[in-house]
C-alpha cells in the first residue's frame, strides 16, 4: 500500500504532527508543494487553520491532486480556534477526491492560548490515529 504525508505550516505546529504520523508509518513527511508521484492509497494531508480558512498554498496544492491518483485523503490539523477539516474537505471534494470522515485535530498555540501545543502527547495521539486508521482499513 502506498501512503504519503504532506503538510503546510506557518508556525511549525503541523510539521510536528506530520513528522509524528510519518515516523509511525516509517515514512518521511514532506511539505507542500512537494508533489505526489504516482498512485497513493492514503494521503495524510494537514495544515493549521488560518483566519478560519486554508492557506492559498494549500488550495493551490489541492488543485494539483487527481482522483485517479489518490484513493483517499485523511485530514489532520491543529489550531487555536478550530480545525481545518471542513475547509479542507470542501476543497478536496471540489477536486473529486474521497475524504475520510475520520480526521485528527488538536489545539495549536496562538499567543498565550494553548501554550506549547501541539505537545508531545498531541504528536503521540496523531501517530496513534494514523496507525489505527490504517489498521481499520486492513493495512
pLDDT over threshold 80, residue 55: yes
- Looking up residue 91, the CATH number of its domain turns out to be 3.40.50.360
Closest C-alpha to 46, from 89, 77, 4: 77
93 is a domain residue: yes
Q: How many domains does the chain have?
A: 1
pLDDT over threshold 80, residue 114: no
Q: 69 versus 112: which is more confidently predicted? A: 69
Give tens-digit pLDDT for 3-54: 999 999 988 889 999 999 999 999 999 999 998 989 999 999 999 877 778 9
pLDDT over threshold 70, residue 110: no
139 is a domain residue: no
43 is a domain residue: yes
User: pTM to 2 decimals?
Assistant: 0.92
73 is a domain residue: yes
- State the cell numbers at 129: 490515529
Distances (CA, A) of 57 to 10, 126, 137: 11, 23, 30
97-109: average pLDDT: 89
Domain that holds residue 38: 3-134
Amino acid at each position: 500500500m502506498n501512503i504519503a504525508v504532506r503538510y503546510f505550516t506557518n508556525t511549525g505546529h503541523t510539521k510536528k504532527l506530520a513528522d509524528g504520523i510519518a515516523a509511525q508509518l516509517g515514512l518521511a513527511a514532506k511539505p507542500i508543494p512537494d508533489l505526489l508521484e504516482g498512485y497513493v492509497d492514503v494521503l495524510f494531508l494537514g495544515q493549521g487553520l488560518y483566519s478560519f480558512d486554508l492557506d492559498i498554498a494549500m488550495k493551490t496544492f489541492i488543485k494539483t491532486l487527481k482522483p485517479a491518483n489518490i484513493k483517499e485523503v485523511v485530514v489532520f490539523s491543529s489550531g487555536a480556534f478550530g480545525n481545518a477539516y471542513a475547509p479542507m474537505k470542501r476543497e478536496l471534494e471540489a477536486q473529486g477526491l474521497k475524504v475520510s470522515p475520520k480526521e485528527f485535530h488538536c489545539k495549536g498555540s496562538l499567543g498565550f492560548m494553548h501554550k506549547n501545543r501541539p505537545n508531545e502527547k498531541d504528536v503521540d495521539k496523531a501517530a496513534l490515529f494514523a496507525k489505527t486508521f490504517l489498521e481499520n482499513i486492513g493495512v
